[in-house]
Amino acid sequence: MWQLVVKSLEKVVSDIDGAIAVSRDGGTSWYEIVLDDNYGRHEWIGVKHFGSDHIVVYGEQGHYTYTTDAGETWINDSVNISGGGGMPPDINGLSMINENNWWAALDLDHVLLTTDQGTNWTDQGSAGQSNMFLMGIDHANENIAIATGASAGWPPAGKILQTTNGGNTWMVKYQSNAPIFSVAVNK
């Protein structure tokens, strides 16, 4: 069994903003994953896995890297969607239904779904108050998922969205005067 830690670092003297550290001995020792094409320059927000072989590390401006062989090789990629200022929105949360199907919660009210390990993404839209960063997402099964949001500006606000039909439609289930950052669904 191994552990993976994603850490965003402040840029000091290198081109590395984010680091991915791995332990294969329960946390006694750690080593850093060095990604091809200077992909460590991206700030990482989180990590998810399905089983021990399929792992996705995701973060700023729609960038993510994933492995299907327990970390032996990594594939660098990004979502192809427009965000504010011409830059892609950050991937703030990810939920892996299985090794191929993933839901992602992004800035600017985007919920994305891939059914082919990130080769293609479908923007499923959102609901409720706009100008939200969707921060968290989790699923009960391939049809039911919950996403959470936090306002991008003033005044502070939050929302909880739910789909019961695989993301064809998302409904507002709760609205708040406070940001809502994460969610965990009891499976």
The answer, yes or no, to whether residue 15 has pLDDT greater than 50, is no
Which whole number is the average pLDDT over 40-62? 90
Mean pLDDT of the chain: 86
**What's the rounded Cα separation, in Å, for the pair 63 and 17?**
13
**What's the rounded Cα separation, in Å, for the pair 76 and 54?**
14
Q: Which residue type is seen at 128?
A: G
pLDDT at 3: 54
**What's the rounded Cα separation, in Å, for the pair 9 and 17?**
5
- The residue that leads in pLDDT, 12 or 131, is 131
**What's the rounded Cα separation, in Å, for the pair 151 and 84?**
14
pLDDT tens digit string along 85-129?
Answer: 778 899 999 999 999 999 999 998 999 999 999 999 999 988 888
pLDDT at 84: 67
Confidence (pTM): 0.87
- The residue that leads in pLDDT, 94 or 31, is 94
Which whole number is the average pLDDT over 14-39? 77
User: What percentage of the chain carries pLDDT values higher than 90?
Assistant: 59
The answer, yes or no, to whether residue 32 has pLDDT greater than 90, is no
Phi first, then psi, for residue 95 (nearest 5°) are -130, 125
- Tell me the domain boundaries of the chain: 1-78, 99-187
Q: Which range has the top average pLDDT, 4-18, 65-79, 118-132, 164-178?
A: 164-178
Which whole number is the average pLDDT over 22-27? 79
pLDDT tens digit string along 129-173?
Answer: 888 999 999 999 999 999 999 998 899 999 999 999 999 999 999
